Structure 1
């Protein structure tokens, strides 16, 4: 990447960090999208941010389609570049934003995978709660299903974020936004058992200099990562002998769908999930409708 692009990309990163207050994960994705675009542009003989035209973007889009990128991935890349050029236009680096002319492809409406009650029961009965790792796994399952928080948010929970007297957790969400989320008695019991026993035993493996206050830890006592959570889920799923494919994020979908099925209003679910826009939450009404449709087709005599 040449100095012209690098200079303005650094400016964009500062903008995302300071003005937009975006998470590091989001910023990395933005940077990757922009670097990918200008790598392609360089091969096309365009190496200045000021020289990119609508025609160049059309060629890039053709390349993405040729490589079978999904509509969702293409939309994200174009959104990243549009934001980048919006800043360049504001700073008078360019005279126009060529990405405003690009129409984003319609998103594919995918119904999120949701766990049935029987599947949840199987997963929740597999951990050996007499062992430290089993206590951790059970607490992890319970808190994810009880709150619907994101995996990354779960890994960031500190002991001080938990208030077990009123069964709530302070969640540090996207864009450094915070919200309080309640949890029920099952999660409460699992957390208390883990914090009083399993976590303490796992933390003993750390040296004094490595001490920390993260709630969820790995077998060596170090903070658990989102990748580690996914590994735990894979192992638990294998032990249940179920053939379904799920991820930790499936619990978020399941939480939201079950809440709406039981009569929770959309605004409350939106707040619990930490969604900035109600449209993000409304996808779960589609899940509910699809579930009702399957029941109808299975049971109505003239379906």
Structure 2
């Protein structure tokens, strides 16, 4: 016999007592294990929001740090010592932000707070929690330093200072020329395939944030540097410069990474004696 929680005509008193107890526990709100919810959120960002791998990695890193804070302080622990998202309130979040401000810059705290805000908005929207504990918490006011960039003389010194000794030098020259000519993001630069570059029209197609596509003009000097580089690609890596093959390759013939580009920019700045420490993003401001 299947007993209903609303059955008022149970024949045995003991059955009523046991069944009422069972119904009571079933009616209690189920814990929302934080680790599982973070994984669901990661799937949402990857599959529905189409965020870049870099953005996804940063979001998950920030959420993992918040998770470790709760574990270390033994906050919001449910049954089995698991973290229950429903127990997180504004006081817990403020304690976390206070701990961050002791050792982090405002920009870092703001980014971590933005990751938390996005996560808890998702939990409310998917009915995992009833109330957003960050609703009344505002991001810290950011300092706005001027972006670093190279002067015109510096950029000409950088581009003209690359001594061509091997195919990788040809690649670096082409990469920096394209970077300076187009002003694309470093992630867009490394994502270029040969089919994205139209040598006749002098344009290139890039895939930016949120998988948004845009057309960017590219100068003749950069196009000629790409032509010279394509010859080396065929000779060194024996790859056709067409279709979805990546434009900029690493030493092993795979698509170069953003971190490698940052190292190469730093290397060539040192080689020509430019004392400015600048990231690849700084070259965008130079554009």
Is this a same-fold pair by TM over 0.5? Answer: yes
1:3 is displaced (CA, Å) by 8.2
The answer for the alignment partner of 1:158 in structure 2 is: 193
1:239-276: CA deviations, max 9, x gaps? 10222212211111111xxxxxxxxxxxxxxxxxxxxx
Greater CA drift, 213-222 or 94-103? 213-222
The answer for the alignment partner of 1:42 in structure 2 is: 71
| 2:141 matches 1:109 | no
The answer for the alignment partner of 1:297 in structure 2 is: none
Structure 1 residues 58, 43: CA separation in 2 closer, same or farther (over 3 Å shift)?
same
**3-state DSSP of counterpart to 1:37:** helix
2:161 to 123, 126, 144: 126
1:5 is displaced (CA, Å) by 1.2
Q: Distance in 2 between matches of 1:239 and 1:21?
A: 39
| 2:135 matches 1:100 | yes
The answer for the alignment partner of 1:53 in structure 2 is: 89
Q: Distance in 1 between matches of 2:147 and 2:120?
A: 33
**3-state DSSP of counterpart to 2:134:** helix
Q: Which has the higher helix share?
A: 1
Q: Distance in 1 between matches of 2:198 and 2:149?
A: 29
| 2:36 matches 1:7 | yes
Aligned length: 248
Q: Distance in 1 between matches of 2:93 and 2:229?
A: 53
The answer for the alignment partner of 2:232 in structure 1 is: 198
Larger Rg: 2
Q: Distance in 2 between matches of 1:10 and 1:218?
A: 32
Structure 1 residues 162, 127: CA separation in 2 closer, same or farther (over 3 Å shift)?
same
Q: Is the contact made by 1:172 and 1:179 (CA closer than 8 Å) also made in structure 2?
A: yes
1:133 is displaced (CA, Å) by 1.9
The answer for the alignment partner of 2:119 in structure 1 is: 84
Give TM-score scaled by structure 1 length: 0.77
Q: Distance in 1 between matches of 2:245 and 2:174?
A: 16
**3-state DSSP of counterpart to 1:100:** coil
Equivalent runs, 1:265-280 vs 2, <5 Å: none
1:202 is displaced (CA, Å) by 2.7
Q: Distance in 2 between matches of 1:202 and 1:58?
A: 56
**3-state DSSP of counterpart to 2:104:** coil
The answer for the alignment partner of 1:225 in structure 2 is: 257
Q: Is the contact made by 1:202 and 1:217 (CA closer than 8 Å) also made in structure 2?
A: no
1:130 is displaced (CA, Å) by 6.4
Structure 1 residues 7, 220: CA separation in 2 closer, same or farther (over 3 Å shift)?
closer
1:69 to 88, 93, 104: 104
The answer for the alignment partner of 1:249 in structure 2 is: 281
| 2:67 matches 1:33 | no
1:169 to 204, 222, 237: 204
Structure 1 residues 59, 168: CA separation in 2 closer, same or farther (over 3 Å shift)?
same
Q: Distance in 2 between matches of 1:112 and 1:30?
A: 24
Q: Distance in 2 between matches of 1:31 and 1:10?
A: 9
1:18 is displaced (CA, Å) by 2.9
Q: Distance in 2 between matches of 1:55 and 1:145?
A: 47
1:219 is displaced (CA, Å) by 2.9
| 2:216 matches 1:187 | no
Q: Return 5+ residue gaps in structure 1 as ranges.
A: 256-303
Equivalent runs, 1:255-294 vs 2, <5 Å: 255=287
Q: Is the contact made by 2:32 and 2:84 (CA closer than 8 Å) also made in structure 1?
A: no
Q: Return 5+ residue gaps in structure 2 as ranges.
A: 1-30, 77-82
Q: Is the contact made by 2:32 and 2:85 (CA closer than 8 Å) also made in structure 1?
A: no
Q: Distance in 2 between matches of 1:10 and 1:233?
A: 36
